[in-house]
Amino acid sequence: MTACYYLVDLDQDVTVPETNSLILRNPLHAVVFERDQFSVDLDGFWPGHQVKGWYRCPDGWICLVSTSKYFGEYSDYDDKYQIYDANFSKAKFWGVSELHSTFFRKALVWSFHDFLLVNESIDGKESPSVMKLYSRIGSESESEFSASLPRIVRNSEYLYFLCNDSPMQILKLDLQLNPIWQREFDNQGGGMPNQKLFYYQNSIIALLSSFRLDDKDADIVALDDATGEILWQQHLPYLIEFFHLAGDRLYLSSQLHGYWCVLCAKTGDVLLQQQVEGSEDDIIRCRYLWPFDEYLLLHNGFDRLTVIDQASGEHLADIDMPPEFSLSHVPPKVVDDYVYVMLGAGGEGMQFSYAGVMVLSRERLRQGPPYTVDVEPYLGVSHSVVTDGDTDYYDIQISCAELGDVLRFGQIEMRKVAQRHSYNFFGNMDKNVKQRVNKRFDGRLQLSIDRAALNNPDDSKIDLLVQLYNQHYQNGFIAPATRKPLSVSWRYV
């Protein structure tokens, strides 16, 4: 059996770097995966707050936590961030103990153990922009270099930039931002930036692709670290959306054209390449191609994970997703003996209303097919429509023994109801939106929690849920009957 768990969303991976776990956070709690064990953390990772991180700095890994409780887009948060280290103690980030959110809205930031790089626009414009090197925030920059939104890789005493210009450029600089060498390519930048850059055994490997939908091909190039001369160049007759280096191999996939490919990182030779069957209208045939020991795991459409022999390219098995889930836009994550496959909601009109994680072990893969997925029970939560005069509201009944399940499944059920029965961005894309929306729905969502069933009640946690979702529903969720935002309340029953 392969275990599969329900999550509220996948937006925030707050796993502390260099640890053997996976921690995914939503505004009210975090879920923790230790090998194949799953738990809910109600108090860690700052419930209700925005969290950004992790960043490397002289004192180790730090993250930034909003001073106020907030549930919304990062770009809309207008307040200060406090600095915390990996032990959840107050810390400093390049000489400061707090930063205003505007710092991250005006700049891209790369933080290393010995200096900070900030890509800032000139005169408040989006471009051109300049890269600045700091040893302390608030001081004058120690050096500058003009570069527009580069991809950056560091190796020892040097930095490598892949710039999204036309023509594209790859540069090597020292740690004072002095150029060592520069190469230009005919490939055009712009579009939806999809460039990738890796350092591999005294070479720089780059994907030169802009991800324009009218593009039909892609180039991968390897340059000599010392001279910038081309070591190898590979042209592929399809657009590459996913590009990953692991060991001595490069893993590529094209969801637009339905190809996956494995290249030798030393020579650029094609080791494996296949086209997945499907119509040209099916644009999600190959999303992610991921190595896991002797296997390749391929996102084959939304509902199938294909297991491939990495040596021969032979198709070994398909793992079909249960109807409750689909494969997510978030790539999988390998931690030691386990690969965590990120999942989205299954079913029409349910996009992004909830998420999940499938835990697949090395041991289970080696046992061979058939592979079956065991979904945790969705117990103790349901909803009903309540007529109140000329309008309707929704009562969400929750009967769970653990508060973590009340918060987790309560949020999921509430999000499903909101997406299905109100006007909202993702729900409106459903082709059956006119039949699905309840035009009598006045926007009220009531959580009715079974007090007798709950072993560890905490009213403050439920109050926080209501506070955050009332804030969240102010933007983008409209009640059909009133044309006003949705509202949430709760009670014990």
pLDDT digits (tens, 9 = 90+) for 255-309: 878 899 999 999 999 999 998 876 555 556 688 899 999 999 999 888 899 999 9
324: which 2 tokens? 């409750």
Runs of H (alpha helix) within 386-477: 403-421, 425-428, 433-436, 459-472
Domain boundaries, the chain: 381-492
Alpha carbons 471 and 468: distance in angstroms, whole number: 5
**How far are the Cα atoms of 119, 203, 220, 252, 298 from residue 245, in angstroms, in the given order?**
25, 13, 12, 9, 15
Characterise 228 by phi-psi region: left (phi > 0), alpha (psi -120 to 50), beta (else). Answer: left
Query: Residue 312 pLDDT more than 90?
Result: yes
Q: 199, 208 in Cβ contact below 8 A?
A: no
5 contact partners, CB below 8 Å, separation of at least 6 = 31, 38, 356, 357, 359, 376
260: which 2 tokens? 């996956």
Alpha carbons 224 and 222: distance in angstroms, whole number: 7
In this prediction, residue 192 carries a pLDDT of: 46
425 contact partners, CB below 8 Å, separation of at least 6 = 476
DSSP designation for 16 = P
284 contact partners, CB below 8 Å, separation of at least 6 = 255, 299, 301, 302
Q: 157, 123 in Cβ contact below 8 A?
A: no
Alpha carbons 139 and 413: distance in angstroms, whole number: 49
Return the number of other C-beta atoms located less than 10 Å from residue 284's C-beta: 17
Kind and range of the H or E run holding 105: helix 102-105
Alpha carbons 286 and 275: distance in angstroms, whole number: 9
Express each pLDDT in 42-87 by its tens digit.
998 899 998 887 898 888 899 999 998 888 776 678 889 999 998 8
Degrees, nearest 5: CA angle 27-485-433: 95
Tokens 């590459």, residue located: 240
Return the number of other C-beta atoms located less than 10 Å from residue 2's C-beta: 18
243: which 2 tokens? 């590009």
Higher-confidence position of 435 and 135: 135
The residue-averaged pLDDT of 6-18 equals 87
Q: 7, 354 in Cβ contact below 8 A?
A: yes
The model's confidence at residue 147, banded by pLDDT at 50, 70 and 90, is: confident
Query: Residue 464 pLDDT more than 60?
Result: yes
Which amino acid would we find at residue 193?
P
Which candidate, 336, 335, 426, 441, places its Cα nearest to that of 9?
Answer: 426
Which amino acid would we find at residue 399?
S
Q: 486, 477 in Cβ contact below 8 A?
A: yes
Alpha carbons 250 and 357: distance in angstroms, whole number: 25
Characterise 342 by phi-psi region: left (phi > 0), alpha (psi -120 to 50), beta (else). Answer: beta
**How far are the Cα atoms of 152, 163, 264, 365 from residue 197, in angstroms, in the given order?**
7, 10, 16, 31
The model's confidence at residue 131, banded by pLDDT at 50, 70 and 90, is: confident
**pTM confidence score:** 0.90
Query: Residue 127 pLDDT more than 60?
Result: no
Query: Residue 146 pLDDT more than 60?
Result: yes
